Structure formats: structure tokens, C-alpha cells
Amino acid sequence: MAQLYFENAMGRIFEHPNGYAWLCYHSGQRTLSDVQGFLTHTGRLLQRYGWHRMLSDQRVMLPFTEDERLLILDYWQKRYLAYGLVTGAVVLSHDVFTRLSFSQIQQQAQGVLSYRMFELEEAAISWLTQLA
């Protein structure tokens, strides 16, 4: 069973017993500070266990703003230089604008973050587990 590691307006971060961070995004509004805190705690969890995998459940998340997108890209680029590549399985949002905002991040983060996108959580978990 996954254990809650951190939560704020952005979402919840769980420690998954299969060796990855599980990010479950909330549907409500968030601040840039919420995004920064979420990123910081995600990185700390990955570093704590030496993990390089995460499951990102974006099904109910609002689209990223331009400022959030830039913050996210900057964070992961700096973290990549210090700790290496992180591989993620993403359960995509039902909202087309959220999908588009994430697609922009994915395209610009190539080489820093590696993602595979899924419609179903079960498929994402299965793929991520095979990488262990």
C-alpha cells in the first residue's frame, strides 16, 4: 500500500512500495508556490530512496500556466544535472487543454525527463513496474 509523503493544493505525493513516487494531482486552483513545493518534495522523495521512476496521475488536473511550465522545466533540468534522468508514466487528463500544456513540457524536457503516456492507470502501473 502506498504511503502519503506530502500534500498541498497541487496534489498528493505517495511513496509506492514498488519503488517509485506516485503523484496524484488535485483538480483545484494552485499557486506557483504550491507547484514549487510539490516539485521540491517530489525530488526529495526520489533522492531519499535513489528512485528514478514516478507515476503521474493527471486525470483531474487543471492545465499548467506558462509560469508553472517554466518553473517545472527549470526544476527538472537542474535536477537532471545533479541526479540524472527520471522516467515517468503519465495517466493523461480528460481535459484537452491540460493534455496540451503537459505536451509542451514533455517536448521541451526531452533528455531531462522521459515520459510515456497512458489513458488507463492500470496500463501505466504495469509499464512502470516492468522498468524495475
| Tens-digit pLDDT profile for residues 94-113 | 999 999 988 888 888 878 88
Q: How many CA atoms lie within 13 A of 103 on its CB side?
A: 9
pLDDT value at position 44? 97
Give the residue extent of every domain in the chain: 3-130
The pLDDT assigned to 107 comes to 84
pLDDT in tens, 22-58: 999 999 999 999 999 999 999 999 999 999 999 999 9
Pick among 3.30.365.10, 3.30.750.24, 3.30.1490.120, 3.40.50.720: CATH of 3-130:
3.30.750.24
pTM above threshold 0.85: yes
pLDDT of 124:
97
Query: CA–CA separation, 81 vs 79, rounded Å?
Result: 5
Q: What percent of the chain has pLDDT over 70?
A: 100
Q: Residue 130's pLDDT is what?
A: 93
Residue 15 in contact with residue 3, Cβ under 8 Å? yes
Kindly state the cell numbers that stand for 50: 535513489
pLDDT score recorded for residue 15: 98
To the nearest 10°, the Cα dihedral for 116, 121, 123, 128?
60
> Which pLDDT score, from 0 to 100, does residue 110 have?
77
